[in-house]
Structure 1
Amino acid sequence: MQIPFEPIVLGYHINIHLVLEYLAFFIAFRYYVYLRKRSKDAISGGNRLSIILGAAIGALVGSRLVGLLENPFVEWTQANLINLLNTKTIMGGLFGGLLGVEFAKKRIGETKSSGDLFVFPIILGIFIGRIGCFLIGTKEFTYGKVTASIFGMDLGDGALRHPTALYELVFLVLLFFILKYLQKKITLKNGELFIIFMLSYFAFRFCIEFIKPNVFYVLGLSSIQILCVICWLYYYKFIAKLINSWRAR
Structure 2
Amino acid sequence: MLQYPQIDPVALQIGPVSIHWYGLMYLLGFAQVWLLGRWRIKQGKTDLSLRDLEDLIFYCVMGVVVGGRLGYALFYKPSEYLANPLEIFFLWQGGMSFHGGLIGVIVVLLLFARKHQKSLLEVGDFIAPLIPLGLAAGRLGNFINGELWGRPSDLPWAMVFPQSGDGLARHPSQLYEMGLEGFVLFAVVWWFARKPRATGQVSALFLMGYGTFRFLVEFTREPDQYLGLLTAGLSMGQLLSLPMILIGAIIFVVAGKKSTH
* Interval containing the TM-score (normalised by the shorter chain): 0.7 to 0.9
Q: Identify which of 201, 223, 231 aligns with 1:219.
A: 231
2:254, 2:142 → 1: CA distance? 36
Could you list the runs of 5+ residues in structure 2 that have no partner in the other structure?
none
- Greater shift, 163-172 or 19-28, is seen at 19-28
Please report how far the alpha carbon of residue 34 of structure 1 lies from its aligned counterpart in structure 2 after TM superposition. Answer: 3.1
Q: Work out the percentage of aligned pairs sharing the same amino acid.
A: 22
Q: Is the 8 A contact 2:21 2:141 kept in 1?
A: yes
2:155, 2:211 → 1: CA distance? 25
- Amino acid in the other structure paired with 1:36: I
- Amino acid in the other structure paired with 1:155: F
Matched, 1:3 2:9: no
- Amino acid in the other structure paired with 1:126: L
- Amino acid in the other structure paired with 2:145: I
Could you list the runs of 5+ residues in structure 1 that have no partner in the other structure?
245-249
User: In 2 relative to 1, CA 56–2 (structure 1 residues): closer, same or farther, beyond 3 Å?
Assistant: closer
Deviations 1:51-110 (A, max 9, x none): 556544433332112222224343623784455673213332123312331244346542
SS of the equivalent of 2:123 reads coil
1:67 maps to: 72
1:119, 1:23 → 2: CA distance? 17
Please report how far the alpha carbon of residue 225 of structure 1 lies from its aligned counterpart in structure 2 after TM superposition. Answer: 2.2
User: In 2 relative to 1, CA 170–51 (structure 1 residues): closer, same or farther, beyond 3 Å?
Assistant: closer
Q: TM-score by structure 1 length?
A: 0.77
Matched, 1:34 2:39: yes
Aligned pair count reads 240
User: In 2 relative to 1, CA 213–183 (structure 1 residues): closer, same or farther, beyond 3 Å?
Assistant: same
Matched, 1:235 2:248: yes
- Amino acid in the other structure paired with 1:179: V
Please report how far the alpha carbon of residue 153 of structure 1 lies from its aligned counterpart in structure 2 after TM superposition. Answer: 0.7
1:247 maps to: none
Q: Identify which of 185, 193, 207 aligns with 1:175.
A: 185
Matched, 1:100 2:108: yes
2:84 maps to: 77
SS of the equivalent of 1:210 reads coil
Q: Identify which of 156, 160, 164 aligns with 1:150.
A: 156
Q: Which has the higher contact order (CA 8 A, sep 6+)?
A: 1
User: In 2 relative to 1, CA 72–26 (structure 1 residues): closer, same or farther, beyond 3 Å?
Assistant: same
User: In 2 relative to 1, CA 108–174 (structure 1 residues): closer, same or farther, beyond 3 Å?
Assistant: closer
Deviations 1:17-76 (A, max 9, x none): 222222222232233223223324134678767755654443333211222222434362
- Amino acid in the other structure paired with 1:224: G
User: In 2 relative to 1, CA 70–126 (structure 1 residues): closer, same or farther, beyond 3 Å?
Assistant: same
Q: Is the 8 A contact 1:143 1:163 kept in 2?
A: yes
2:205, 2:32 → 1: CA distance? 23
Q: Is the 8 A contact 1:145 1:162 kept in 2?
A: yes
User: In 2 relative to 1, CA 39–83 (structure 1 residues): closer, same or farther, beyond 3 Å?
Assistant: same
Matched, 1:200 2:226: no
